[in-house]
Structure 1
Amino acid sequence: MASLSFQSRAGRRRAALAGTLLSAIVLASCQSAGMPNADMIRLDAAQGSEQNIASLTQVIQNNPRDPEAYNVRGSAYGRGGQFELAIADFDQALALNPRFYQAYANRALIHRNLGNREQAIADYNAAVQINPNYDAAYVGRGNIYRQAGMLNEAYADYNRAIQLNSTDARAYHNRGLIQQRRGSHVEAIEDFSRSISISPRSPEPYNGRGLSYFAVGDQDNAFTDFNRAIQLDENVAESWANQALIYEQRGENDRAARSYARAAQLDPNYQPAKDGLSRTRGI
């Protein structure tokens, strides 16, 4: 009987630890940017190269009243990290065509990268006012709301994009993050699975789905998803910390410590990795 009591206490401690770990990692995940390009522009030096900009400038010189020409060059400036020049081009595109909703959304993304949240939201508002069926603007605005902790507003925007049959994996992934934070893990798994079907080479939805599998007690599928995330990109700290979570729950503390260490090496500020490393190295 004493043995059974001890096992019961150990089981309860492990369950409590699992809940604590999951809450910490889910919170860290929900506060992250989500999928690549969800909030920040992925810079591409080739887009901002002198040769490419010169070619696009020639198009503008040949068609100085064409708003699309300015929109294209503005996008190139943005991808090249020349944000102020990008805004100037989007401003000109909108001066030539005030109903150019794509230019509003593109300028919003630049403002988001510059930290100008209010201007970004205003531009996304203008885009959806002109074209209420423009799913990319709802996703973009939802991303800003989510990062600001305005989860109800973000959820409504992702829902709207999905209702419009969006093929943007971020709409499903980021709605899944909100479902996850609310404890609706079955619905979150569905959203992450849909995101994976659209963008199967992105590690983020595998990490998200794995955490929700873990939350519902399916450690095998969780471990499979975390390992798949690492296979897709071995430089994501979250993936290694999530893998370590399974090792730790299995009592394989040496393996857990190595995975937490790898996560901490990739991102020294990732708190779940630091906490996990402290726990497992001390055992």
Structure 2
Amino acid sequence: MAGFLVSCQSDARNATRIPPTPSEKLKSNWQKDAIDALTNNIRRKIDLDNSYFKRARIYFENEQYDLAINDINDAIENKDNVGDYYLLRGQVNRELNNLDAALQDAQRAEALQQVSPELYILMADILQEKKRFREAQNYLNRSLQMAPYDGSAYYVKGMLQSRIGDTTASLGSFKQAIDLNPRLLRAYQQNIIINNRLGNLNNALYYNNLALKRYPKDAILHFERGQFYNALNKSDSALLSYNKAAALDPKLTEAYFQSGSIYLKWKMHDAALKAFEKVKNNQAEYPQINYLIGVTLERMGYDDRASEFYKMELEKSPENQLAYAGVVRLQRREMGQYSTPSAREPAQPSAPTRILDTNRVQIRTIQPRRSIDMGTDTTRKVIIR
């Protein structure tokens, strides 16, 4: 550890690599030790910009992008002319989907004479997202010349192939990207999207399973899994996936909506109401959510509250005929024109039915058909040999 602290104090340009992993420790252990040591350096203001940079890179490798962006910003604030710093910030911004900021950082790194396959892959990836395909292809070619076995390069290659409609080639590139870098989540996602678009649900589900083994806490992957099961009419499995997705990301509104729809179909009204209320809390303007809450409340026997939600839906969407029909139905029920037993009240006994008087009914036994003797046809001769 003393040697590690000395290395952290050296110049950032000569020692930008994090110290190698001690063979006797697991990766998580040495990363924790490295973070502790770097945090101590930062607290003591020792080699400040380089310490922030090294800690940011550990956070980036652990996919803690919010922590990484804070540290790399501090590194650049302390020293703003290092290409490695801008490259790392560009990579973090790419993961956070801040494409404009990522492109500016990558261009600044290139202007500072940064030359590496990582930079060229980052440039190619951002440019293909911005549909500047020719420029993206040029950077991709340069990266493949320098690093022909980089999984991220094959991901970008697959994206460019997909953009021009060559889905077969793109699937092959995404598969190669996963083989070279099993932690490349975007490659799994693209494989899932393309297979789903082609109707290959089993293949899409296969890559979804592979991705979940690597990223078991990714809410989107669990939600997509639910969509596949739903398409295959496996509602019970779909519901488990939707609930898992919602538990991992409470802001994933669509997961609550899908689970509520399944509960409503199964007539589990309490669970459906809770799910739909979470949809409304997350996104008050979600399409038809007031109507669905109204339907659920009506089926539970809460007609007054159901009417309120139907009217709220009509205020937002006056053309919604289903909500209008719900209001009319509740008004007629209130006027006594017809009634429907609610789920909260015991059903009323039905009116006595008329009993048939069997004494006035004549029952005759059905006789079996009798055989008819047609006689013998004497005109036909029987030849005996």
- Which TM-score band applies after superposition, normalised by the shorter structure? 0.5 to 0.7
Question: Which amino acid letter does the alignment assign opposite residue 130 of structure 1?
Answer: L
Identify which of 178, 196, 206 aligns with 2:246: 196
Cα–Cα, structure 1 residues 134 and 214, in superposed 2: closer, same or farther, change >3 Å? same
What is aligned with 2:313?
259
Cα distance change of structure 1 residues 128 and 54 upon mapping to structure 2, 3 Å threshold: closer
Aligned-pair RMSD on alpha carbons? 3.7
Task: Please list every run of 5 or more consecutive structure 2 residues that lacks an aligned counterpart in the other structure.
Answer: 1-93, 329-385
Structure 1 counterpart SS, 2:175: helix
CA distance in 1, matches of 2:186, 2:96: 19
User: Does residue 199 of structure 2 align to residue 149 of structure 1?
Assistant: yes
Report the identity percentage. 16
Tell me how far apart the structure 2 counterparts of residues 213 and 60 of structure 1 sit (CA, whole Å). Answer: 54
Deviation of 1:203 (Å) = 0.9
1:127-152 CA distances to partner (integer Å, 9 max, x unpaired)?
A: 12324564542233112222332211
Q: Supply the distance in 1 between the matched residues of 2:160 and 2:289 (Cα, whole angstroms).
A: 29
Aligned residues: 228
Select the residue among 204, 208, 216 that pairs with 2:266: 216
Partner of 2:229: 179
> Secondary structure, in 3 states, of the residue corresponding to 1:237?
coil
Task: Report what 2:107 is aligned to.
Answer: 57
Aligned pair 1:128/2:178, yes or no? Answer: yes
Structure 2 counterpart of 1:105: 155
Measure the CA separation in 2 of the matches of 1:100 and 1:132: 11
The equivalent of 1:278 in structure 2 is 321
- Local SS of the residue matching 2:199: coil
Higher radius of gyration, 1 or 2: 2
Rounded Cα–Cα distance in structure 2 between residues aligned with 1:172 and 1:82: 29
- Point out the more displaced range, 83-92 or 194-203: 83-92
Q: Deviations over 1:54-75 (max 9, x none)?
A: 4422312445641111233344
Question: 1:126 deviation in Å?
Answer: 1.9
Q: Paired residue for 1:137? A: 187
Find the residue that maps to 2:245 and give its secondary structure: helix
Correspondent of 1:69 among 116, 119, 134: 119
Q: What SS does structure 2 have at the residue aligned with 1:48?
A: helix
TM-score by length of 1: 0.64
| One-letter amino acid of the structure 1 residue matched with residue 99 of structure 2 | Q
Q: Could you state the TM-score of these two structures normalised by the residue count of structure 2?
A: 0.49
CA distance in 2 between partners of 1:278 and 1:157 (Å): 41
User: Aligned partner of 2:313: which letter?
Assistant: S
Distance 1:238 1:93, change over 3 A: farther
> Higher helix share goes to which structure?
1
